Amino acid sequence: METFEGAPVVHAETTEQWRDWLAGHHTDAKQAWLVLSKGGAVSYDDAVCQALCFGWIDSVSKPRDETTRYQRFGPRNPASTWVRSNRDRVQRLTDSGEMAPAGLALVEAAKASGVWDLLADVEEGIVPDDVRAALDAVPDAAATFDAFPAGVRKAILMWIVSAKRPATREARIATTVEKAARGERSGP
């Protein structure tokens, strides 16, 4: 079997072949590189959808040759947050009956732990109350933060709300306020 960076390379000519590979390997493989090509039979979106069905997710993409690339997939970290695009994909896949038990279990665990919709308000541009209060306590910080482009505000807020520990969240809020007061951006 072909490997790349120590992981198996999957050549799927169809979405069904990618799904079949995932069905047979999602519990024992640590990761895999799917070969994707522009205009190929397996689109990036289809590949991600099938991965989600089995509790996997995409990560880095690397060039392979002039017409193809490697897309890395692996088991999703149960503590990772879910972005809207993947929540929407899972909803469509659930409605169509395509979700496999492994994917459904991961989604249910994410909902139970709160990571499923942790980013929902941020994706809507809503500033959490504790962040808003800290910014408003320093008027220059609030004005600067509010003037940042929407994408910058979103990235900063995602960085803050994705903190695993309350102390980390508080430190990220403090950093954001301090930097915004100086006219600087914080975040990842």
Return the domain boundaries, the chain.
Answer: 3-113, 120-181
Q: Cα 162 vs. chain centroid, distance in angstroms? A: 11
Residue 99 gets which letter from DSSP? -
Region class of 146: left (phi > 0), else alpha (psi between -120 and 50), else beta: alpha
Q: What amino acid is encoded at 85 in this protein?
A: S
Backbone angles phi, psi at 162, to 5 degrees: -85, 0
pTM metric for this prediction: 0.85
pLDDT digits over 67-113, tens only? 999 999 999 999 999 999 999 999 999 999 999 999 999 999 999 99
- Summarize the confidence of residues 164-182 as an average pLDDT: 96
The predicted structure's pLDDT at residue 188: 66
